[in-house]
Amino acid sequence: MVWCPKYRRPVLVGPVAERLRDLIGQKCDEHGWSIVALEVMPDHVHLFVRADPNASPSYIANQFKGFTSRVLRDEFSHLRSRLPTLWSRSYFVSSVGNVSAVTIQRYIETQWERPWRKRGAS
């Protein structure tokens, strides 16, 4: 799964990023899902999660986005003042099939090794 803050603002840094990681873990524990890999970038989140195949991808994404938005905006007032909502409406979800789980995990874990570029930069 991949999702971004509204307007792709780079607000997922420092204590906000740490708290987001904790909240994602709480939501996984609540549903019995497991995190295979997680990277919180300043302007997006990569999450590789193992979940019940009966749970729809939209349900899983909405559980993470709704819960984390509510809590983070309550705890960090600058998120309320800078953004009308924390997350954009869109997200990307794909299931593991054509590539191995190891390949996806390696991709997510190496995201910080790549230079972070602002949106629109080549």
Written as tens digits, the pLDDT of the chain (122 aa) is: 999 999 999 999 999 999 999 999 999 999 999 999 999 999 999 999 999 989 999 999 999 999 999 999 999 999 998 889 999 999 998 877 656 666 666 766 666 554 444 444 43
Placement of tokens 């190891």 in the chain? 102
CATH of the domain at 12: 3.30.70.1290
Domain membership flag for residue 122? no
pLDDT at 95: 78
C-alpha neighbours within 13 Å on the C-beta side of residue 113: 5
Q: How far apart are CA 83 and CA 4, in angstroms?
A: 12
Contact between residue 115 and residue 122 where contact means Cβ atoms under 8 Å apart: no
Domain membership flag for residue 118? no
Domain membership flag for residue 81? yes
Is 107 annotated in the active site? yes
Domain membership flag for residue 119? no
Domain membership flag for residue 8? yes
Domain membership flag for residue 120? no
Q: Give this prediction's pTM.
A: 0.80
| Domain tally, the chain | 1
pLDDT at 116: 46
Q: How far apart are CA 100 and CA 87, in angstroms?
A: 29
